[in-house]
Amino acid sequence: MFLRKNKQSQLKQCSQPKKDVSSDFWNEYEEKTGEKILSRGLGKYISGWDEFDEKKWSGLWGLIITTSGGFRFHHFPQNSWIDVLTRFADAEPVKEKTIFIPHDKITSSELKKETVWFKKLFAPPPRLIIKYKDETSSDSPCDEKKLVFEAEWSNGE
């Protein structure tokens, strides 16, 4: 009898619905930014943002997010044992890093990826290229800046 009750209580615990942590994260992110998330994905920063390039922060992984207000890249701190060993050389502590470009500053965006299945095996990862103007840019198309990411893109589903 004790064994039967124990199994029933275990079954009740297993059958309870699990909380969807990812939807909570995205809802909280929308509240924090005050903008609706249109699409999102995982990506690796390659080049194009002056602050990141000056500090040689190429290869940072983070969230690539398109919102109703613009484009965002959000890198979260990483703490692996390799990072701990190499951090002694860095004077700067690990912290979040973000990029935000308002919609009105973006001139174009393109996701370059191979679509033929057998070419995908040997092709480089998809690249997200965003052309934008900042405060120092003139109206000339030659003054555009270009952000480049390797991207695993999703539409936010």
Three-state SS across the chain? CHHHHHHHHHHHHHHCCCCCHHHHHHHHHHHHHCCCEEEEEEEEEEECCHHHHHCCCCCCEEEEEEECCEEEEEECCCCCHHHHHHHCCCCCCCCCEEEEEEHHHEEEEEEECCCCHHHHCCCCCCEEEEEECCCCCCCCHHHCEEEEEEEEEECCC
> What confidence score (pLDDT) does residue 1 get?
44
| pLDDT per residue of the chain (157 residues) written in tens, 0 to 9 | 444 545 455 545 555 556 667 888 899 999 999 999 999 999 999 999 988 888 887 788 899 999 999 999 999 876 666 666 665 555 555 578 899 999 999 999 998 888 888 887 888 889 999 999 987 766 666 778 999 999 876 554 4
> What confidence score (pLDDT) does residue 136 get?
73
Phi, psi torsion values for 98, nearest 5 degrees: -135, 155
> What confidence score (pLDDT) does residue 116 get?
86
Give the residue among 129, 6, 143 at the shortest CA–CA distance from 71.
Answer: 129
Round to whole Å and give the CA distance between 148 and 156. 20
Q: Residue 80 to residues 73, 84, 87, 94: CA-CA distances in angstroms?
A: 21, 6, 10, 12
In CATH, the architecture of 36-154 is: Roll (2.30)
| pTM greater than 0.75 (yes/no) | no
> What confidence score (pLDDT) does residue 22 get?
81
Domain boundaries, the chain: 36-154
Give the residue among 70, 69, 48, 52 at the shortest CA–CA distance from 60.
Answer: 52
Task: Tell me the pairing of strands 106-112 and 97-102.
Answer: unpaired
